């Protein structure tokens, strides 16, 4: 899916050359994507405070050490994302991002989640499955890559739950105070980049 290169373009667009001091990944899993980002940007972005939010703490010791070796301070939050948002103070994070996370939420819950993100960040980037015919065809072919039955089923379900057009933009609050770009990327991905407008 070339997700990492697509994702990095969204990150670069959202930061507009500025160094984020505080970054959060929502639905981060083992933290490997955030670590990859840290490795890509550690020379330019020094001393970043990075937070991974996921229901379970599955970040390995070696991953924690890798963040420390790059000079990034890692915080692990093993909580439901809504519990974390409800308890997070008003001081906004410079950047929040999510990869293949938003499509798991029903429309009304997604609106609530995006409102919480908008209230607590200056930039947000999401890379999600695209709900389109090429992606659906591709999801039926993942078995050719050696994926098991669960992954094959999840791939199809994820495409049906994915996004197209400006669906995330429609769910984003206070659009007038944000610069928003929502677009298809490659054959299978759908991206959303929101950056708070600075007067």
Which positions of the chain have pLDDT values less than 50? 1, 133-135, 137-138, 140-144, 150-153, 155-157, 159-160
| CATH no. of 3-129+163-196 | 3.40.50.150
Determine the pLDDT at residue 158: 54
- Domain ranges for the chain, please list them: 3-129+163-196
155-183 tens-digit pLDDT = 444 544 567 789 899 999 977 889 999 99
Which residue, 144, 152, 194, is CA-closest to 174? 194
Q: pTM (2 decimals)?
A: 0.86
Helical residues (DSSP H) of the chain, grouped into ranges: 3-15, 32-41, 61-69, 81-87, 107-119, 133-139, 149-160, 167-171
Determine the pLDDT at residue 153: 46
What's 184's DSSP letter?
Answer: E
């Amino acid at each position: 899916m070339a997700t990492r290169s697509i994702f990095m373009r969204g990150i670069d667009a959202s930061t507009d050359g500025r160094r984020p001091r505080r970054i959060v990944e929502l639905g981060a899993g083992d933290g490997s994507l955030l670590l990859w980002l840290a490795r890509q940007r550690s020379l330019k972005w020094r001393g970043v405070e990075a937070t991974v939010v996921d229901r379970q703490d599955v970040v390995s010791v070696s991953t924690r050490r890798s963040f420390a070796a790059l000079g990034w301070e890692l915080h692990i939050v093993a909580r439901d994302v809504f519990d974390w948002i409800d308890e997070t103070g008003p001081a906004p994070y410079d950047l929040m991002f999510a990869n293949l996370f938003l499509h798991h939420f029903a429309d009304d819950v997604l609106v609530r989640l995006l409102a919480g993100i908008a209230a607590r960040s200056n930039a947000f980037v999401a890379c999600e499955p695209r709900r389109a015919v090429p992606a659906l065809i591709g999801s039926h072919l993942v078995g050719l890559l050696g994926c098991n039955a669960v992954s094959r089923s999840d791939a199809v379900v994820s495409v049906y739950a994915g996004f197209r057009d400006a669906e995330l933009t429609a769910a984003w609050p206070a659009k007038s105070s944000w610069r928003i770009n929502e677009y298809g990327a490659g054959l299978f991905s759908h991206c959303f980049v929101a950056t708070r407008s600075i007067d």
